[in-house]
Amino acid sequence: MNEQADSPLPAEQSPLLAEPQSDEAFRISIDDSAASPTLLFLVSSVAWLAIGSLVGLLVSLKFSLPDWLGSIPFLTFGRLRPVHLNTVVFGWVSLAGAGAIVWLTGRL
């Protein structure tokens, strides 16, 4: 029997007649599919790094000048230090690591 007559697809799109992709084209398609989530993870991690750095700057100023903004209870050194560490660890390190894992998984 004729394989083209049994196929619902035109001859140009038939998987029976399609040539296999080259390794380079396959790698490019994987890179394209992983680019969006990787970029989202890395951009988000950079934003969290900027926020954590600003809080870290505020913490260092509070450590040097303890009376600065002393009348605001949630801006004390004891409350800002954990905010700085948690923002950097959970915001920047975890998201940057997840972005690196997503990018590397497509390359295995």
pLDDT digits (tens, 9 = 90+) for 62-85: 888 878 877 888 888 888 899 999
CA distance 72 to 58: 13
Q: Is residue 49 part of a domain?
A: yes
Token reading at 54: 């600003």
Structural domain contains residue 14:
no
21-25, 35-39, 40-44, 92-96, range with the lowest pLDDT: 21-25
Identify whether 4 is part of a domain.
no
pTM attached to this predicted model:
0.65
24 in a structural domain: no
Residue 68: inside a domain: yes
The number of distinct structural domains making up the chain is 1
Q: What is the DSSP string of 10-74?
A: -TTT-TTTPPPPPHHHHHHHHHHHHHHHHHHHHHHHHHHHHHHHHHHHHHHHHHH-TTTTTT-GG
Residue corresponding to tokens 């970029």: 39
Q: Could you tell me the residue range of the domain that residue 107 belongs to?
A: 33-108
Residue 39: inside a domain: yes
Q: State pLDDT tens for residues 29-59.
A: 777 777 788 899 999 999 999 999 999 999 9
Within a domain: 57: yes
Residue 101 lies in a domain: yes
